[in-house]
Amino acid sequence: MNDKPTRIAIIGGGFSGAMTALHLLRNTKQNLSITIFEPRPVIGRGLAYSTVCDGHLLNVPAGGMSAYADDPGHFLRYATTRDATADERTFVPRMIFGDYITGMVREAIEQGNSNSSVKHVTETVLDVRKKDTGFEIEVSGKKTFEADQVILALGNMGGRKPRWLQNVPAIADHYLHDPWQPGAIESIGLDEDILLIGTGLTAVDKMIELEVKGHRGKIYAASRHGLLPRPHVARYVGLKNQAEIVPGNALKAFKSLRAQVVSNEAAGGDQDSWRLVFDGMRAETQNWWQSLSLAEQKRFLRHLRTYYDVHRHRMAPHIGEIVDSLAKSEQLRVLAARMESVEADNGRFKVTLKNRHNGQTVILTVDRMINCTGPQANIDAIESPLLRTIVGSGLAGRNTMGSGLAVTKTGQVLNQEGNPVYGLYAIGPLLISKLLESVAVPELRVQVASLADLVLSEAATA
């Protein structure tokens, strides 16, 4: 065995980055020197699990959240040490899952093993450059590090501020572009009226935070379709957990899913049968996605993606009850509308929207606006100096769909000519265009295990 350690840089310390490091340590027989570049002081939380609001629950029950695919009960055993009443159907607070991951990482860093070490660098990576052998990584302050292999685990990323905000500079501080900015919700007055721009899971999180603090003002949530994520249900009755997806055609695939739902209901299943049908398709979704032509993939994204997402990425049952209560009390109003303009109006925002269904103009006057559009996929719109630099230099190419990087399904990055860049890999949301499903723990835990095996295999032959 070569005594010189293989230097592996993992850029990003959320779930994907942390779990890749743990899988590398778990499976290696080689000497590894792993450096995780993560500006946050703690590795393993990322955006989703950094929340300090105990009202934020996982949107997958505890029985499906193990970090290790080969040990399905791993997280549940941990969860019961925090809450003895938890079982496989419990939707536990996201903070607990964050503690679970960070605890494993902390132990790995403190203990290491006879062959390997893990180091946490709290710097932002600005550039990665290919050298004759390996890579040079530049962080803020022009400081550089050397690595033999680099893994891009950047997680979910936001986009740039909207152009229409430039028209209201006097009250721009009342617009919250980063919905996860610490202390942002606490600064909102209890009686202020809020506009959430977006109606997905990020918007739901903000609704929960406002509800927890006892907010009394109006909450508006607007998006092009005006659809909220559907809630999970406590149990399914009389259903078939099976879904057959028609390959090669996006519309026919979803017609077949609908037929399965109708069949379940006709056979005595309840009206929630679509949930189990969606769950049943998960194992085949990535293969189905890759069976589609580029034209069919674009057709899906243009016409079906929004409807797919609200059924696939659901709320915990209790969260759904809170959102439903806010709507029934008329404190919450959800709009299917497009943003037309924003103006300053005596220290407030005057927002003009156009209703999607009837084309009528809707005018709202609110005290605050919060960007809840969720993760950005378009490389050119993402606020990431690193991605902008490596794509601009040609080290990494754009995906043909215009979102994410050009990669193989195993995560190896392709350069702008479409050739593999040996030693450069990506994981997580950067692979969405290639895999469609690349953000949830059940899929990511399989991806990180496979990627770790690939990295170790290629390191062994270097």
Average pLDDT over residues 262-272: 67
Task: Write the Ramachandran bin of 198: left for phi over 0, alpha for psi from -120 to 50, otherwise beta.
Answer: left
Q: Which amino acid is at 367?
A: D
The reported pLDDT for the residue numbered 37 is 96
Residue 197 forms part of a structural domain: yes
What residue numbers bound the domain in which 27 lies? Answer: 6-56+93-158+377-460
The reported pLDDT for the residue numbered 404 is 80
**Which positions ≥6 away from 243 have C-beta within 8 Å?**
256, 257, 260, 277, 278, 280, 281, 284
The reported pLDDT for the residue numbered 195 is 97
- For residues 205 and 320, membership in a common domain is answered with yes
Residue 81 forms part of a structural domain: no
Q: Tokens for 267? A: 């056979």
Convert the pLDDT of each residue in 372-426 to its tens digit.
988 887 777 787 889 999 999 999 998 887 678 899 988 999 999 999 999 999 9
- For residues 110 and 139, membership in a common domain is answered with yes
Residue 347 forms part of a structural domain: yes
Average pLDDT over residues 227-251: 70
Q: Quick check: 68 pLDDT over 60? A: yes
- For residues 260 and 287, membership in a common domain is answered with yes
Residue 68 forms part of a structural domain: no
Measured CA angle at 23 (ends 22, 29), to 5 deg: 105
Q: Tokens for 223? A: 């998006």
**Which positions ≥6 away from 335 have C-beta within 8 Å?**
220, 221, 222, 223, 226, 353, 355, 362
- For residues 217 and 322, membership in a common domain is answered with yes
3-state class (DSSP) for residue 427: coil
- For residues 108 and 25, membership in a common domain is answered with yes
The reported pLDDT for the residue numbered 111 is 72
Q: Tokens for 153? A: 């685990």
Q: Tokens for 435? A: 């895999």
The reported pTM is 0.90
- For residues 259 and 221, membership in a common domain is answered with no
DSSP state string for 194-240:
EEEE--SHHHHHHHHHHHHTT--S-EEEEESS--PPPBP-S---S--
- For residues 148 and 200, membership in a common domain is answered with no
Question: 3-state secondary structure string, 429-460?
Answer: HHHHHHHCCCCCHHHHHHHHHHHHHHHHHHHH
**Cα gap 415→420, rounded to integer Å:** 6
**Cα gap 90→61, rounded to integer Å:** 5
- CATH number of domain containing 181: 3.50.50.60
List alpha helices for 32-93, DSSP H. 74-82
The reported pLDDT for the residue numbered 114 is 65
Residue 241 forms part of a structural domain: no
- For residues 20 and 126, membership in a common domain is answered with yes
For residues 76 and 66, is the Cβ–Cβ distance under 8 A? yes
- For residues 260 and 145, membership in a common domain is answered with no
Q: What are the phi and psi torsion angles at 271 (to 5°)?
A: -70, -5
Query: Which residue has 């005596």 as its token pair?
Result: 346
Convert the pLDDT of each residue in 344-364 to its tens digit.
888 899 999 999 999 999 999
In order of 53, 186, 205, 206, the CA distances from 215 in angstroms are: 15, 10, 14, 11
Residue 43 forms part of a structural domain: yes
Residue 355 forms part of a structural domain: yes
- For residues 124 and 11, membership in a common domain is answered with yes
The reported pLDDT for the residue numbered 381 is 78
Confidence of residue 234 (pLDDT cuts 50, 70, 90): low
Q: What is the mean pLDDT of the chain?
A: 88
Q: Which amino acid is at 396?
A: A
Residue 86 forms part of a structural domain: no
Q: Tokens for 18? A: 């942390």
- For residues 390 and 447, membership in a common domain is answered with yes
- For residues 127 and 18, membership in a common domain is answered with yes
3-state class (DSSP) for residue 343: strand
User: How many domains is the chain built from?
Assistant: 3
Convert the pLDDT of each residue in 285-338 to its tens digit.
888 888 888 888 888 888 888 988 998 899 999 999 999 999 999 999 999 999
Dihedral angle at the C-alpha atoms of 387, 390, 396, 398, nearest 10 degrees? 50
**Cα gap 221→195, rounded to integer Å:** 6
